[in-house]
């Protein structure tokens, strides 16, 4: 759904991530303390979590970043998310 230019609407897209994939991502993040993802939203699977799409990892980490649970760094076409103390408490 696209809004015409100049109409003042904001397009909101929500991604639903299955609970099983969320648990796998959260578990990996908690165990390792860091999550790495290639900057490729169209990759079928994540580098380390083979049965989880890379886009779902990126979007879930984006959500955690906006809440202050992880800190993001970007280098050489890879995203790195580091768990914060608040993130440890949350998970």
Q: Quote the pLDDT of residue 19.
A: 93
Q: Distance (Å, rounded) from C-alpha 11 to C-alpha 49? A: 30
Give the other-Cβ count within 10 Å of 60's Cβ.
Answer: 22
pTM over 0.95: no
Instruction: Look up residue 90 and give its two tokens.
Output: 């949350």
Which pLDDT tens digit goes with each residue over 20-66? Answer: 999 999 999 999 999 898 888 777 887 788 899 988 889 999 999 99
Residue corresponding to tokens 């900057």: 39
pLDDT over 90 at 91, yes or no: no
Mean pLDDT across the stretch 4-9?
A: 58
Mean pLDDT across the stretch 73-81?
A: 92
């Amino acid at each position: 759904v696209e809004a015409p230019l100049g109409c003042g609407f904001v397009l909101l897209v929500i991604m639903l991530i299955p609970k099983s994939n969320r648990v796998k991502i959260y578990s990996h993040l908690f165990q390792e303390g860091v999550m790495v993802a290639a900057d490729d939203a169209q990759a079928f699977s994540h580098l380390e979590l083979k049965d989880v799409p890379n886009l779902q990892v990126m979007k879930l980490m984006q959500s955690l970043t906006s809440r202050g649970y992880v800190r993001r760094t970007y280098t050489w076409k890879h995203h790195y998310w580091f768990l914060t103390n608040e993130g440890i408490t949350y998970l």
